[in-house]
């Protein structure tokens, strides 16, 4: 990425496309250091302005990719952050925690598998005890594994893992978080363009992302009377460790090229919508889905 990215006006080349870089498959869940072309999380570019001063946030999947970008942005906007992640992602989580602390905010790291309800409850309990409360929940962690043969190649084991990681955990975390939240708190879910433009090889993943959209709308309506807003961000093709860890090489090499802007997005380009939904700037917005897709329609 060019150092003067924010001086550029053309979104087609604001970030260099990873499709121009060497790519190779990496083992799941994938870490940032295993990638030939590491994503841009806003480490050198995001500038905060106090929009989340004093807030306490949970970010699942906060070790890398979109989660890391959101953690950096939240911290630079004044929030303390709890990062939930898989134990094998410890190195990435430490890096993200250091970036949060460098911004002068508190970072809490909680490894574990969110497919377990008790662990989800424990995440919320840790946030309340170590951060002093909870104002923002970002349900971002997800699992996908592309299967070229579609439904005939998707095992029951994989289907169960996708459902538990992407839907059950969101339900468990939200259920545990709501009693701890005061009016003005927010829940932000990571949906996907796959909820609207579903790929056969990601049938199970797309199904969960469509569920996240419905969950967001229903929960947003249900919690409005409590003063808690619920919204979702629907990314298009974003360059994160999940991509080379779950997609075949030929898909990785052309990743993002189908968008009108002609490239994959970087995690740094996702952080501002999460900050918008977490802040009072979006005080009259709930139950909505914001697409960040490089121009691909959410219809």
Q: Do 298 and 291 contact (CB within 8 A), yes or no?
A: yes
In the chain, where does DSSP find H-type helix? Answer: 65-76, 90-102, 117-131, 156-163, 169-177, 203-223, 242-246, 249-253, 271-278
Look at phi and psi of residue 104 and say left if phi exceeds 0, alpha if psi is from -120 to 50, else beta.
left
User: Which residue in the list 196, 205, 274, 284 is annotated as catalytic?
Assistant: 205
- State yes or no: cis peptide before 29, omega within 30 of 0: yes
Rg (CA), the chain: 18
The question of whether 284 is a catalytic residue gets the answer: no
Length of the chain: 299
CB atoms < 10 A from the CB of 75, how many?
26
- Upper half-sphere CA count for residue 133 (Cβ side, 13 Å): 11
- Contact residues for 116 (Cβ-Cβ < 8 A; gap 6+): none
**Catalytic residue IDs:** 205
């Amino acid at each position: 990425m060019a150092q003067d990215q924010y001086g550029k006006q053309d979104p087609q080349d604001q970030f260099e496309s990873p499709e121009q870089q060497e790519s190779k498959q990496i083992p799941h869940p994938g870490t940032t250091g295993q990638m030939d072309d590491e994503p841009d999380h806003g480490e050198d570019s995001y500038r905060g302005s106090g929009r989340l001063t004093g807030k306490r946030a949970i970010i699942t999947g906060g070790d890398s990719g979109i989660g890391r970008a959101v953690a950096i942005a939240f911290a630079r906007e004044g929030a303390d952050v709890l990062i939930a992640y898989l134990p094998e992602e410890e190195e990435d989580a430490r890096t993200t925690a250091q970036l949060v602390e460098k911004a002068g905010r508190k970072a809490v790291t909680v490894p574990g598998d969110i497919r377990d309800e008790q662990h989800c409850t424990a995440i919320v309990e840790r946030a309340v005890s170590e951060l002093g409360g909870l104002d923002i929940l970002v349900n971002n962690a997800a699992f996908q594994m592309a299967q070229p043969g579609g439904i005939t190649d998707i095992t029951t084991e994989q289907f169960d893992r996708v459902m538990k990681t992407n839907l059950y955990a969101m339900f468990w975390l939200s259920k545990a978080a709501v009693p701890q939240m005061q009016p003005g708190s927010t829940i932000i879910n990571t949906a996907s363009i796959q909820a609207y433009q579903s790929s056969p090889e990601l049938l199970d993943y797309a199904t969960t992302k469509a569920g996240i959209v419905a969950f967001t709308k229903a929960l947003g309506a249900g919690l409005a009377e409590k003063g808690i807003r619920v919204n979702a961000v629907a990314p298009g093709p974003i360059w994160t460790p999940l991509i080379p860890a779950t997609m075949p090489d030929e898909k990785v090499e052309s990743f993002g090229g189908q968008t009108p802007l002609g490239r994959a997005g970087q995690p740094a380009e996702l952080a501002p919508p999460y900050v918008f939904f977490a802040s009072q700037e979006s005080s009259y917005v709930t139950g909505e889905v914001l697409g960040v897709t490089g121009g691909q329609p959410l219809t």
